[in-house]
Structure 1
Amino acid sequence: MSFEYTPPKYAQLIAEIERRIESGEYPPGSPLPSEHQLMAEFGMARPTVVKALGVLRDNGWIISEQGKGRFVRGRPALAAGQHPRTGRELLDRKEIPSTTRLVSAGLVKAPRRIASYLGLDDGASVVLRRTVVHQGDEPSEIVSVWLRSELAEGTALAASAELPQGVGRLVESAAGVGLDHIVEHLTARNPTKEERGLLGVAASAALLDLYAVACDATGKAHVVLQTVLPGDRHELEDAYPIR
């Protein structure tokens, strides 16, 4: 069954305020409408407005000054669309045959970490999609997508063919909910035997292992995206406003 996805109200408010800032309707340095004004104009509850304003502040579009209110900062130098976080980029990434090789797709027993992220019992069956991404002639990373079996079975997510669109849209359609946020966990370790073969690295190589857990607005996890990166081929960079 397919579902039409409508962004949550707070996301719609974020998009509209960003549009007004970019168009010059809300110029840099100008005071932002108050919470009550936004509630009245958009017909939204205060928690929805506060959540939207919090995201805009965290992403650098507006600033808050205690006792004075909120002011427009302008389009951030590193807007979300220009510098996507790793988890978001993995959600949107397509499996392009020219650069991506699908290694496996099917049911497996969930490792303890994955079961914990998805709220499942240890050893529960999950669907795993694993691909190797190449840069030029060299393998650059292993990407694994872990999903609840009942969510993925019967969809393209469990099929043994490259996905023509990002995992995020497919998960939202299958689950009938919107993905609201991502929690990332980063570790470092040595490679497994399988990873040594897929990446062409030595047993002593240092790998960066990043897990991005994508959840709906209630906090329920629907998909875990794992990327394994050889430490000598990657450098992780992040940038965000100070306030």
Structure 2
Amino acid sequence: MTRPTQPTGPVQPYMRVVLDIQQRIRTGQLAADDKLPSARELSAEFGVATGTIQRAFGQLKADGWIYSHQGLGSYVRGIPGDVAPETVSTLTRLSDLEQRVRALEDELRQLRGKSA
């Protein structure tokens, strides 16, 4: 995965927030499933309007860095492209279950075919 290059010219206020939060995630200051500060708190920290923070959150969500739960806040998803070992384990179990279900469905079709 290529890392975004740091802009050389003026940066939109929302992008300053995006880049800062991405950097916090990359350096481990924020880890997967950590709750982000509220829009109001970040607004005060960056000296921008809460709408600017919301726009930054929208960009971070679209890029896969964070996720939100209505009424609970926004949380770190992680660095896009990184897959946690427990996710791989879960996906492996799901794949195994899917294969078992298909085998059972095939067996059921065969049994129904014999009784017809």
Fold conserved between structures, TM > 0.5:
yes
Match for residue 102 of structure 2? Answer: none
Once the two structures are superposed, the pairs formed by residues 34-73 of structure 1 within 5 Å of their partners are 34-73=38-77
Superposed displacement of residue 5, structure 1: 2.8
Structure having the larger proportion of residues in helix: 2
Query: How far 1:68 sits from its partner (Å)?
Result: 1.2
Alpha-carbon displacement from aligned partner over 1:85-143 (angstroms, at most 9, x marks no partner): xxxxxxxxxxxxxxxxxxxxxxxxxxxxxxxxxxxxxxxxxxxxxxxxxxxxxxxxxxx
Unmatched tracts of structure 2, length 5 or more: 1-7, 83-116
- Report how many aligned residue pairs link the two structures: 75
TM-score, length-scaled by structure 2 = 0.61
Runs of 5+ in structure 1 lacking a partner?
79-243
Q: Where has structure 1 moved over 4 Å in runs of 4 or more?
A: none
Aligned to 1:27: 31
| C-alpha distance in 2 between matches for 1:29 and 1:5 | 32
Q: Which of 68, 77, 91 does residue 81 from structure 2 map onto? A: 77
Structure with more relative contact order (C-alpha pairs < 8 Å, separation 6 or more): 2
Partner of 2:10: 6
Q: Which has the higher strand share?
A: 1
Larger radius of gyration: 2
Paired AA for residue 77 in structure 1: G
TM-score w.r.t. the length of structure 1 is: 0.30
Q: Percent identity?
A: 39
